[in-house]
Amino acid sequence: MKNPRALALDILGDVYLNGQFANLALKQRLQNYSDQDKNLTSALVYTTLRHQISARAQWIDLVEIKPKEKIGLIIDLAIIQLFYFDRLPEYAIVDESVELAKKDHMSSAGLVNAVLRRVIERGQKELVGKDDIETQALNLSIPLWIYKLWVKQYGADVAYKMAQSMNTEAQLCARINTLKADPKEIYADDRVIKGWLSPVSIKSSASLLNSDWFKEGKIVIQDEASQWVAYFSGVKANDRVLDLCSAPGSKSTAMAAIMNNTGEILACDLYENRLELVRQQADRLGVTNLKTLCIDGRLLKDQHPKPFDVILVDAPCSGLGVLRHKPDIKVHLKPETLDELITLQAELLESIAQLTKINGTLVYSTCTLNRKENEFQVLNFLNRHPEYVLVEERLLLPHETDSDGFYMAKLKRLK
């Protein structure tokens, strides 16, 4: 059995070197460990993912030749422990890091030892870039290209606050499942904090995942912003609803609860294994008005000519609004990926343009903060489809709402 620091290094290697998602790597590697080891390992991994850019800037000037990435990760992990964890003694951090490096090569161990001792001697240095924007990006530990995008689109002040909020750990949030629970019963518990964005959201000082409420399907883990999409859609009893990109099913089941299991929800996704997550969640929550269909959403119009009252396109996106929960997006996302996503989003919208009933509703949502994927995507759709009008749009910024960053637009088909 490995200790938490060695486990954290393995998981960071999975993310940075092998392209894995952090949550999946953690789940895979921590199956047989104690809760204490799981908690410390997770804290080390997620703190490193949040602050790795800043951590590397603390030591990279001390080496003439950049070490190979695994050794760099060992030093990054040590820097994180030195500057972001109070209870870990410096000597233990250095010794453990040297031992991890020895498994690579003795010369690597010497480099790690020398770099860390120089960092400790120097202390946490001020990070300064070529200009104010780069300096802020370094200190906020956000890729420069993402920060420049935000500054250009939202202004320097908002961009700074967004990036700052993304480095905070998000408090676990849940939705009360009104198909199985009375919100008054749950809100009466002293440990529960009522959310303000969604009418059925809760946060709690107790462990929600281990609660009887969760085990009995009375609550489901879901961020408030994601919950709000279902209410924003305006679904009502007996509607025929399409959720085009439905997995893992949080929004589909939220709409089912609003509809009180009346009408019909068709939940689609490209992958059968992801649709199985939708079905499992629907079963756990007591949802009975939901059917699933494994299909490329761009081809749906050829199989389902019957129109829908409400269509939700919760589109694949860059995920820049959920960096609090998924800081590994900063590792995986590349500038060229944005153009591919924007094209896919447009194709999905185009594919269902004729599937909305006259006077029906089309909702487009993303969990990103990028106008090209959000406002401009909707504007381009409206320019192509004058039969639609924009009814309402909303941008949720994490530093304002204490939720994930989300965009949603509600369109009405007139003819």
* Domain(s) of CATH 3.40.50.150: residues in the chain: 225-413
Give residue 208's pLDDT. Answer: 84
What is the spatial distance between Cα 367 and Cα 210, in angstroms, rounded to a whole number?
A: 27
Q: Which residues does 331 contact at the CB level (< 8 Å), separation at least 6? A: 15, 16, 49
* E strand intervals along 121-197: 173-176, 192-194
Write down the pTM of the prediction.
0.94
Helix (H) or strand (E) holding 294: strand 290-294
Amino acid 206: pLDDT: 66
Query: In terms of Cα–Cα distance, which of 20, 108, 42, 32 is closest to 100?
Result: 108
Any catalytic annotation for residue 367?
yes
Write down the H helix ranges in 264-361. Answer: 272-285, 329-332, 335-352
What local confidence, expressed as pLDDT, does residue 330 receive?
98
Q: Among residues of the chain, what percentage have pLDDT more than 70?
A: 100
Residue-averaged pLDDT of the chain: 95
What residue spans of 180-249 are helical by DSSP H?
Answer: 183-187, 212-215, 224-232
Q: What are 350-404's pLDDT values in tens digits?
A: 999 999 999 999 999 999 999 999 999 999 999 999 999 999 999 999 999 999 9
pLDDT in tens, 3-28: 999 999 999 999 999 999 999 999 99
pLDDT value of position 209: 82
In angstroms, the first-to-last Cα distance of the chain is: 64
pLDDT given for residue 205 in this prediction: 66
Residue among 245, 268, 317, 367 flagged as catalytic:
367
CATH code 1.10.940.10 region(s) in the chain: 4-122
Low-confidence ranges of the chain (pLDDT < 70): 205-206
CATH number listed for the domain at residues 4-122:
1.10.940.10
CATH top class, domain 225-413: alpha beta
Phi then psi for residue 358, to 5 deg, are -60, 130
Cα distance between residue 250 and residue 279, in whole Å: 11
